[in-house]
Structure 1
Amino acid sequence: MFELKKSGDKFHFVLKAGNGQVILTSQMYASKASAMNGIESVKKNCGDEKCWETKTAKNGKFHFNLKSTNGQIVGSSQMYKDESGMKNGIASVQKNAPGADVKEVE
């Protein structure tokens, strides 16, 4: 499920897995329409291996970004203690995003 949220005068979204855990968080968008376009970009690009960027933080934890075809980051993960956890996170986005509903929350 995508949750679309308004923060001040900007919008962002999170993608939650079936268990309610946040698996992807977006950047801030100036408009609701832009945030909805970001959600569509996640749905469209999550199956394309070239759109995934995996990283290791200075503290040794792992995280990932999902990019659109133009190279802009549309979503980022939490930090994972190991690489297998990060890979499971990517697999969860790939499984959950394409058919996910969008719910607006306060």
Structure 2
Amino acid sequence: MFYYIYKDVSGYWRWTLYAANNRKIANSGEGYHNKADALSAINLVKGSGSAPIREAAAA
């Protein structure tokens, strides 16, 4: 897996996470004014490995 960081057409920084088979599996969902903020968001995602998984209640 790897993260790809880039500037979009509006000049905002964004990231995409790719699987080993080069398929997109996640993205930033928003643009960041600063590259440092985009990198910080990547580190938040990397550090969330122990976050619990919650399932929606049946309707």
TM over 0.5: yes
1:35 is the counterpart of 2:38: yes
Question: Which of 7, 11, 23 is residue 21 of structure 1 equivalent to?
Answer: 23
Aligned CA-pair RMSD:
1.9
**What letter corresponds to residue 45 of structure 2 in structure 1?**
V
Cα deviation for residue 47 of structure 1 reads 2.8
More strand by share: 1
- Distance in structure 1 (CA, Å) of the matches to 2:49 and 2:40: 14
**What letter corresponds to residue 25 of structure 1 in structure 2?**
N
Structure 1: gaps spanning 5 or more residues: 56-106
With the length of structure 1 as denominator, give the TM-score of the two structures. 0.45
- Distance in structure 1 (CA, Å) of the matches to 2:13 and 2:54: 23
Q: How many residues align?
A: 53
- Distance in structure 2 (CA, Å) of the matches to 1:20 and 1:12: 17
Structure of greater relative contact order (alpha carbons < 8 Å, 6+ residues apart):
1
More helix by share: 1
